[in-house]
Structure 1
Amino acid sequence: MPTTSTRSAVNRWVFWPAASIIVAFVAFTLIAPGTAEAVFGAIQSSIVNAFNWYYVLIAAFFVIFSLWLGFSRFGDIKLGRDDDEPEFSLMSWFSLLFAAGMGIGLVFYGVSEPLSHFVDPRPGVVGTEAQLAQQALSQTYLHWGVHAWSIYVVVGVALAYAIHRRRRPISIRWTLEPLLGSRVRGGWGNVIDIVALVGTLFGVATSLGLGVLQISSGLSTAGIADPDITTQIVIIVVITGFVLFSVLSGIGRGMKWLSNINLVLAGLLVIYLLSVGPTLFLLREFVQSLGNYIQNFIGLSFTVNAFTGAEGEAWQASWTSFYWGWWISWAPFVGIFIARISKGRTVRQFVAGVILVPTLIGILWFAVLGGSALAMQLSGDVDLTGPDGTVDLQAALFEMLANVPGGTLVSIGVIVLIGIFFITSADSGALVMSMIATGGDPEPKRWARIFFTVITSALAIALLLAGGLDALQTAAIIIALPFSIVMLLMCWSTVIAFTRERRAYDRARRDQFIDRIGEIYGLEVEEPIERGALRPPAWWKPRGSAANRSASRGFGRPTAARGDDSPDAASPESAPDTDE
C-alpha cells in the first residue's frame, strides 16, 4: 500500500475515512442539533469526570519531556543534514513562531479569560481583590504558556527530524517510523494520519467558531447586527468566500501580506493600550504576574480540582481540560508549521525558541489586554460584568475597548484583525490537512484544499448550532483523547531515534582510535608491563599533527594500519625512538 500519492489524487485510505467521519458528524449535527447538543454534554461530562486527571498529567509530562529533550545530550542533534544552515535568520524565525502562536484564540480570550478568573475564581481559590487579580493572570498564563508550546514541541521536533533529517514526506505517520518501522507504510500509518487529520479539522473549526462568536459580538456592539446564529452563519459564509478566493487564485504572496498585516495590527493594539491606559501599572503587573506564574508553576500544572466536587469538575471542563484538548487537537497543524520553518536548527535551539519566545509574547499580550480590564474593574469606575455578575466571553474585549479613548475605531480594527485571522487560519489549515490527506504532498491539488475549506466551515456551523461555545469546547476535548495516545508514542519514537543517532556517533568516535588506545594509555592486562612502557609508542604523533590527522582519516595508525609493508612503514617496532 503506498504511503504517498501522486499530485492527481489523495491517499484514499486516509482521505475517505477521515472525510466520512466528518461528513457524518456534520450531517448528524445539522439534522438534529438538539440531540447533538445533549450528546455532546453527556460525552463531555463522561470524559472530564473520567479523564481530567489524565489530561493534566500528560500536559505536565509533555513539558518535562520537551525540556529534557532540549537540554539533554540529544540537544545538539541537528534537524537537518550536518551541513544544513538555518533557512531563516533568528529574528525571522522568532517572528514566524509568533505568527504560529498568535491566533483567534488570543484575541477571543485576551480580555475575557483573566476577567473571568477574577470575577469567578477557580473553586477553592480565595483572597483579596488584589490576590484574586494576581491569581487570574497566573491561571491564564498556565493555559497559554509553557504547556501549550511544549505540546507543540512534541509533534514539531519529531516531524522536523523526520522531514529534514531523514527526508521523509510531510505526514504525521513518519514521526513513528523509528518505533513502528515499515508498518508506518500500511494500516498503522493510515490510522495515525486519519486521527491527526480529524483532530486538525476539529481544532481549526473550534478556532473559527470562536472567531465568529467574537465578530458577531463586535458587530452587535457597533449596532450593525444582532449576535444570533443567523448572523454567525452569514459571517462564516462570507469569510469562507474570501478563503476560497485565496485558494483558487493561489496567491501565496497575498497570504504572506495578510499574516504580516495581522502581526502589525496586533502589535499596534498592544502599544496603543499601553500608551492610553495605566502604563506604569501594566508594566509592573507584567513583571509581577510573570514572577507569580513561575513561582506557582508546578502547583498549577498538577491542579485537577479534586476536592471541589461537581463545581470543580465543571470549571475544569470549561477551562484547563478544554485548553489541553484544544492544544492537542491543534498540535498536527502547528507542529507541521514550526517543523517546516526550523530546518538547520538544533534540537536545543528548537525547544528553547519554540517554548520561550511565544510564551513571553503571549504573557505580554494577556498582561496588557487582561491587565487593562482588571485595572478598570479594580478601580470601581467601570463594571465589565453583566447584570448577573458574569463575564460575556464573546463581548468582553469590545466592552473593555469602549472605555478607552478612540474605542470605536479600535473595535473596528479588532474586527478586521479577527477576520484576517479567520482567513489565514482557514487557508493554512486547509493546506496542512490536504498535505496529510495526500500522504505528504507539499503542494496538494486545489480541489483537496477547497474540500477542507468548505468542510471546516460546515463543521464550525454545525458546532455553533449544537451548543455554541460549549460544543466547541466539547469537540476539542473529545478529539484530543485518541491523538494524545499518538503523541505519547511520538515521545517514545523520538527517544528511540535520537538514542540510535547518538550511539552511532559514539561508535564512530571510538572507532577512530580504539585499536591503539591500550598502547597509548597502558591499559594492557594480559601481563605486567614496565614503567617505561607507559610512554606513548614512537608511531604516536601529537594531536593535530599531519600524521595524526592521517590516522584519524584511516581509523588507525598513519601507515601500517593501512597495510603498507614497505621498510619505510611506520610501526612500533621499526620506528626510531625520537625521545632519545
Structure 2
Amino acid sequence: MNGTDKTNNDKTVFYVSLIVVACVVAWGVMGASSFKNAGDTVFSFLTTKFAWFYILCMATFVLFSIWICCSKYGNIVLGKDGEKPAYSTLAWFAMLFSAGKGIGLLFYSVAEPLSHYAHPTGAVPGSPEAMAFALRKSFLHWGLQPWSGYCVMALGLAYIQFRKDKPGLISSVLIPLLGEKLAGGIIGKCVDILAIFATVAGVATSFGLGTYQISSGLNAVFGLEQTNTLLMLIVFSITAILLMSIVAGLDKGMKRISSANLCMSAAIMLFMFFVGPRIAIMNGLVEGVGNYISHYVFDSLSVGAFSEQEARWYGDWTIFYWAWWIAWAPFVGTFIARISRGRTIRQFVLGVLLAPTLAGISWFSIFGMSAMGLGLDQAIAATSVDVSRSIYIVLQHFPFSTAISVLVVALLITFFLSSADSATFVLGMFSSNGDLNPKTSRKVMWALIQAALALALMIAGGKSGLNMLKTASISVAFPFAFILLLSMASLVKGLREETRAARKESLAEKHPQKKISDQPVT
C-alpha cells in the first residue's frame, strides 16, 4: 500500500468515525427519549430473538480457543520465528487484565453476587442454594466466555500483524479469507468504523459509570456531596492524568499504571480475605469452582427456553453480558494483540484464558462470600440503592472500612486510567490505518473526545444517558459476533496456507533436484 492510499484511508475512517460519534451523541443529548426508545427496541429485539445465537457464539469461542491451543499450530510464534515476547509475563498479564476487566470487577464484585443471592432463579432467596447459584453465575459471566471472545479477536489480529506484517485493523483479520482487496475496501472500512464507534461508546460509558463510583467513594469516605461539580472535577482530574500517561507512552505510562493495578488489586483481595470470613471464603471458592465446572456445559447453553421468568433473567444477565463482551472485543482484542508479540499461540491462549479467569474467580469468591455472609437483608439493602455504592455499603461492615474504601477509590482511578489509556491507543491505531505506534496527538484527541462524551451525557441525562449509549454500543456491535466467527475461519485458513507452504519449502530443500508438483503423474 502506498503513502497516498494510506492517507486516504486515514481520512475516510477517521472523519466518518467522528461524524458517526457526533451524530449519535447529538441524538442522545437533544432527543434523549427517542434515542432511548430506539436503543431499547433494538437491544430487546437482539437479546430476545438472538439469545440462542449469542449463547452458541460464546460457546464456540471457548471450544475454538481450546482446540487451537492443543493443535499442531500451538508452537507458531505471533511474530517472526525465534522472536521473544515484547513484555515480561507479569507485565503482560497486568496490562491485559487491566484492559479486559478493569473497573467492571470493582463495579460488580459485590453487586452481582448479592443480586443473584437476593433474586436467584430456581432457588429460595437467601438460601444456601441461592448462594451457590450466585457464585456459579458470577464465575460464568466473568470467566472463560468473555476471555475466549477477546482471545479469538486478539489471536487473529496478532497473527496477521506480527506474522504477516499487515495493518493493526479489525478488517485485517479477514485478509486470509476475503483477500486484501475486499478486506481493504468498503467492507473493511465499515468494519473499522463500527469498531471505532463501539470502542468510543463502550469506554465513554465506563468512563462515566466509573466517575459515579468514584464520587460514591468520595461521598462514603469524606462525605462529599455528589453534584455535577464533583463529577466534572473527577473527569477533569483523571483526564489530566490520562494525558500525562499518553505522552509517557505505552512502555512507561500504561505499563506502570497496570502494574499498580495488579499490586493494589492483590492488596485489596488479601485484606478482604483476612478480615472477612476466611473459612467460608475458602469453602465457597472450592465448592464454587466445583459447581462451575460440573454445571459448565448446562450453564453455557442455558437461555431459559422453558420458562418466561427464567428467559427474562437470562436476557437481563447472561445474554446482556455476552453482547457486552462482544461489543468490547474489538477494543480489548486489539490491545491484547498489540502487547502479545513474540508469544506462541499456545502461550497466548493459556495466558489470556486461564490467568484472568482464575483471578476473577478468586475475586468474586472473596468479595461475594464476604458480602453474602452478611445475610439477605443486607444483600437487599446493598442492591436496592445505587449499584455504584454497593461495595462501600458492604465495606462498612468490616474493620478499617475507611482505609480500604480509600484504597478502592485509588484502584478505581488506576483501572479507570488503564482502560482509557489502552482505548485511546487502540483508537489511535484504528484511525491511523493500523499504525502500531499512532501519533501522540491522535491519541490525545481521542482521550478528549471520550472524556467530553461521558461528561456531556452525565450532565444531560445522568446515568440513564450513559446507559443509553451503552445500549447503543452493544446493539451496533452485533455484527462483530459474525466478524469473530469469520476471524476464526480466516485464522485457520492462514495457518493452513502457511504450514502447507513451509512443508513444500522443506521438501524442496531436501530434494533440490526433484521438481515438486501438485499434478498427478500420467
Instruction: State TM-score, norm by structure 1.
Output: 0.81
Q: Which has the higher contact order (CA 8 A, sep 6+)?
A: 2
Does residue 386 (structure 1) correspond to residue 385 (structure 2)? The answer is no
Find the aligned partners of 1:229 and 1:307 in 2 and give their Cα distance. Answer: 45
1:489 to 486, 490, 501: 486
Q: Cα–Cα, structure 1 residues 324 and 476, in superposed 2: closer, same or farther, change >3 Å?
A: farther
1:420 Cα deviation from its structure 2 partner: 1.9
Structure 2 contact 126–375 (Cα < 8 Å) conserved: no
2:495 corresponding residue in structure 1: 498
Contact 1:75-1:346 within 8 A present in 2 as well: yes
Q: How many residues align?
A: 511
> Is the CA contact (8 Å cut-off) linking 2:170 and 2:191 kept in structure 1?
yes
Distance (Å, rounded) in 2 between the aligned partners of 1:448 and 1:10: 15
Q: Report 1:54-93 matches (<5 A).
A: 54-93=53-92
User: Unpaired runs of 5+ in structure 2?
Assistant: 516-522
Indicate the residue corresponding to 1:555 in structure 2: 511
Structure-2 separation of matches of 1:269 and 1:9? 48
Alignment of 1:436 with 2:430, yes or no, is yes
Q: Please state which structure has a larger fraction of its residues in helix.
A: 2
User: After superposition, what is the alpha-carbon deviation per residue over 1:205-254, rounded to whole angstroms, capped at 9, x for unaligned?
Assistant: 23223312312222332353344666445433432233234445669624
- Hey, what does 1:147 align to over in structure 2? 145
Equivalent residues of 2:177, 2:493 under 8 A apart = yes
Over 3 Å counting, the alpha-carbon distance change for 1:90 and 1:455 in structure 2 is: closer
Residues 118 and 126, structure 2, Cα contact 8 Å, conserved in 1: no
Provide the C-alpha distance between the structure 2 equivalents of 1:328 and 1:58, rounded to a whole number of angstroms: 10
Quick one: distance in 2 between partners of 1:469 and 1:115? 23
Counterparts of 1:125 and 1:307, CA distance in 2: 16
Quote the residue 1:120 is aligned against: 119
- Deviation of 1:313 after TM superposition, in Å, equals 4.6
**471-480 vs 154-163, which moves further:** 471-480
The residue number in structure 1 matching 2:396 is 402
For residue 519 of structure 2, what is the aligned residue in structure 1? none
Give the corresponding residue for 2:520.
Answer: none
Task: Identify which of 414, 418, 426 aligns with 1:424.
Answer: 418
1-side partners of 2:260 and 2:252: how far apart? 12
Is contact 1:115-1:391 (8 Å) kept?
A: no
Equivalent-residue separation in structure 2 for 1:562 and 1:59 (angstroms): 48
Name the structure 1 match of 2:127.
129
Q: Bigger CA drift: 452-461 or 218-227? A: 218-227
Contact 1:176/1:493, CA 8 A, preserved across alignment: yes
The alpha carbon displacement at 1:393 in A equals: 1.9
1:174 to partner: Cα distance: 1.4
Q: Which residue of 2 aligns with 1:173?
A: 171
With 369-378 and 144-153 compared, the bigger mean Cα shift is at 369-378
TM-score, normalised relative to structure 2: 0.90
Name 1:570's counterpart in structure 2: none
Q: Read off the aligned partner of 2:43 and give its amino acid letter.
A: Q
Supply the RMSD in Å over aligned alpha carbons: 2.7
Contact 1:119 1:390 in 2 (8 A): no
- Spell out, residue by residue over 1:86-129, the C-alpha distance to the aligned partner (whole angstroms, 9 max, x if none): 3334444444443343400011011111111110114x445871
Aligned to 2:518: none
Residue 480 of structure 1 corresponds to 477
Q: Percent identity?
A: 38
Task: Give the whole-Å Cα distance in 2 for the aligned partners of 1:144 and 1:469.
Answer: 22
Q: Who is 1:571 aligned against?
A: none
One-letter amino acid of the structure 1 residue matched with residue 74 of structure 2: G
CA change 1:232–1:562 in 2 (3 A) is closer
> Are the structure 2 counterparts of residues 39 and 507 from structure 1 closer, same or farther at C-alpha, using a change threshold of 3 Å?
same
Which amino acid in 2 is paired with 1:442? L
CA gap 1:5/1:458 in 2 versus in 1, 3 angstroms: farther
* Partner Cα separation in structure 1 for residue 93 and residue 451 of structure 2: 30
Match of 2:11 in 1: 12
Q: Structure 1 residues 473 and 120 mapped into 2: Cα distance closer, same or farther (>3 Å)?
A: farther
AA aligned to 1:283 is M
Structure whose alpha-carbon radius of gyration is higher: 1
Q: How does 1:62-461 map to 2 (within 5 A)?
A: 62-122=61-121, 124-126=122-124, 129-183=127-181, 184-222=183-221, 224-227=223-226, 231-247=230-246, 253-309=252-308, 311-377=309-375, 383-386=378-381, 390=384, 392-461=386-455
**C-alpha separation in 2, matches of 1:304 and 1:228:** 40
Question: How big is the shift at 1:445?
Answer: 2.7
1:251 and 1:146, CA in 2 relative to 1: closer, same or farther beyond 3 A?
A: closer
For residues 419 and 142 of structure 1, the distance between their equivalents in structure 2, rounded to whole angstroms, comes to 26
Ranges in structure 1 where 5+ consecutive residues have no aligned partner = 513-552, 564-580
Letter in 1 for 2:71: S
SS of the residue 1:241 aligns to: helix
Report the counterpart of residue 52 of structure 1 in structure 2. 51
Q: Which one is further off, 348-357 or 249-258?
A: 249-258
**264-273 or 300-309: which moved more?**
300-309
Structure 2 Cα separation of the partners of residues 13 and 420 of structure 1: 34
Amino acid at match of 1:405: P
